[in-house]
């Protein structure tokens, strides 16, 4: 099978992903072998490839928002069959028995493994996945539309829940990439007013197209205080700025697995008046399926730019430069 393999992290300009041919993987007990059609890209992939997110194993095939069909089932799999269409997410598997798993927070499990980090992911023609952790997908939607919903969309949904946003409230989005452009649509469906802070003219244009009530740079003063904010940009320097933009009692959610250094926070400037600062590590299976059902009801459609599998380096380079409007997706087959 063809795949884009990361042997050693490095600057994306140096093309660290190498096009290789590998033997197809073999599904073990409880696993399925998938023939992939599409895999979406995100900043987590970029941070892994460039070494900002330390790799758990090398070499590794990145990618954790993959759409495919079951080719073969491993021993003990009875819930899936060849030909079933499924999606793979960031959470590859969890132990299922620790207190976090039992409380429905399996994405925080100390023994959790993540797709494209601990296990080979979707930048290839085939991959294995844990049968209990894949998501059934509809046949009527194209793979390039479904792929971003598996990671970026679910991550934004989790961030909205962590923000405790209520219908009609004012939400600020700092950074406007794949996850944020889906989160904006979801928040608007809830009747919320969405303000977008991004330096990219292309992203500002897309935010307006999708119904943002106000658009400005990250340093701009919003027209009114925010009830909640989500920081999607991996820029720790924006944390104090976002906290200052919050209404009293507001919540800021850091929605990413990598963040540059956060400047020193001053209690009376940033956290007084019961402001809350939270993070997002991932999405449980339950919340992932909740989001996919919600996306179907709302007809939530991502804006996508599709690239051939062999252009993964170039696509990640454009992502780093802020040149992707919406979601970047690799066409694998």
Q: pLDDT tens-digit profile of 124-172?
A: 999 999 999 999 999 999 999 999 999 999 999 999 999 999 999 999 9
C-alpha angle 283/111/91, rounded to 5°?
30
Q: Taking residues 226-237, what's their average pLDDT?
A: 96
Domain boundaries along the sequence of the chain: 2-137+303-331, 153-280
pLDDT bucket at 237, cuts 50 / 70 / 90: very high
**Pairing mode, strands 327-331 and 304-308:** parallel
Q: Which of 51-55, 122-126, 268-272, 320-324 has the highest mean pLDDT?
A: 122-126
pTM for the full model? 0.94
Cα–Cα distance, 120 to 59 (Å, whole number): 9
Which of 321, 317, 257 minimizes the C-alpha distance to 54?
257
Tokens 């290789």, located at residue: 20
> At a CB cut-off of 8 Å and minimum separation 6, what does 47 contact?
53, 234, 257, 258
Contact between 304 and 144 (Cβ < 8 Å): yes
Cα–Cα distance, 59 to 171 (Å, whole number): 40
- How far CA 92 is from CA of 95, 129, 130, 159, 258, in Å, comes to 11, 7, 7, 20, 19
pLDDT bucket at 267, cuts 50 / 70 / 90: confident
Asked whether the predicted pLDDT for residue 93 surpasses 90, the reply is: yes
Give per-residue pLDDT as tens, 10-36: 999 999 999 999 999 999 999 999 999
Sign of CA dihedral 240, 242, 248, 254: negative
Topology of domain 153-280 in CATH is: Rossmann fold (3.40.50)
pLDDT at 182: 96
Question: Mean pLDDT score of the chain, rounded to an integer?
Answer: 95
Asked whether the predicted pLDDT for residue 231 surpasses 90, the reply is: yes
pLDDT at 273: 87
pLDDT at 256: 85
Q: Taking residues 41-57, what's their average pLDDT?
A: 94
Give per-residue pLDDT as tens, 75-84: 999 999 999 9
Q: What are the percentages of helix, strand and coil residues in the chain, rounded to 5?
A: 30, 30, 40
Half-sphere exposure of 270 (CA within 13 A, CB side): 15
Superfamily of chain region 2-137+303-331: Medium-chain alcohol dehydrogenases, catalytic domain (3.90.180.10)
Cis preceding linkage at 59, omega within 30 = yes
For residue 58, count other CB atoms closer than 10 A to its CB: 10
> At a CB cut-off of 8 Å and minimum separation 6, what does 219 contact?
241
pLDDT at 101: 97
């Amino acid at each position: 099978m063809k795949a884009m393999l990361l042997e050693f992290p490095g600057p994306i300009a140096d093309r660290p992903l190498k096009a290789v041919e590998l033997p197809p993987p073999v599904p073990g007990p409880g696993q399925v072998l998938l023939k992939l059609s599409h895999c979406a890209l995100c900043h987590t992939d970029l941070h892994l490839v460039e070494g900002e997110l330390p790799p758990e194993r090398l070499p590794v095939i990145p990618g954790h928002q993959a759409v495919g069909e079951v080719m073969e089932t491993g021993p003990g799999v009875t819930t899936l069959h060849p030909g079933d269409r499924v999606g793979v997410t960031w959470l590859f598997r969890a132990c299922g028995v620790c207190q976090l798993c039992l409380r429905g927070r399996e994405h925080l499990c100390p023994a959790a493994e993540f797709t494209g980090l601990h296990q080979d992911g979707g930048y290839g023609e085939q991959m294995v996945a844990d049968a209990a952790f894949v998501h059934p997908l509809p046949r009527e939607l194209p793979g390039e539309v479904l792929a971003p919903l598996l990671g970026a969309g679910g991550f934004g949904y989790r961030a909205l829940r962590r923000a405790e946003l209520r219908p009609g409230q004012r939400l600020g989005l700092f950074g406007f990439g794949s996850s944020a452009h889906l989160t904006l649509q979801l928040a608007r469906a809830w009747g919320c007013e969405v303000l977008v802070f991004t330096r990219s003219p292309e992203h500002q244009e897309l935010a307006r197209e999708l119904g943002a009530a106000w658009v400005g740079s990250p340093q701009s003063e919003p027209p009114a205080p925010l009830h909640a904010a989500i920081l999607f940009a991996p820029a720790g320097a924006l944390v104090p700025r976002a906290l200052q933009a919050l209404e009293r009692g507001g919540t800021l959610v850091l929605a990413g697995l990598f963040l540059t250094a956060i400047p020193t926070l001053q209690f009376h400037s940033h956290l007084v008046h019961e402001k809350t600062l939270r993070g997002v590590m991932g999405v449980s299976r339950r919340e992932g399926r909740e989001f996919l059902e919600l996306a179907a009801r709302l007809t939530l459609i991502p804006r996508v730019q599709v690239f051939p599998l062999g252009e993964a380096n170039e696509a990640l380079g454009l992502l780093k430069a802020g040149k992707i409007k919406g979601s970047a997706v690799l066409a694998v087959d």
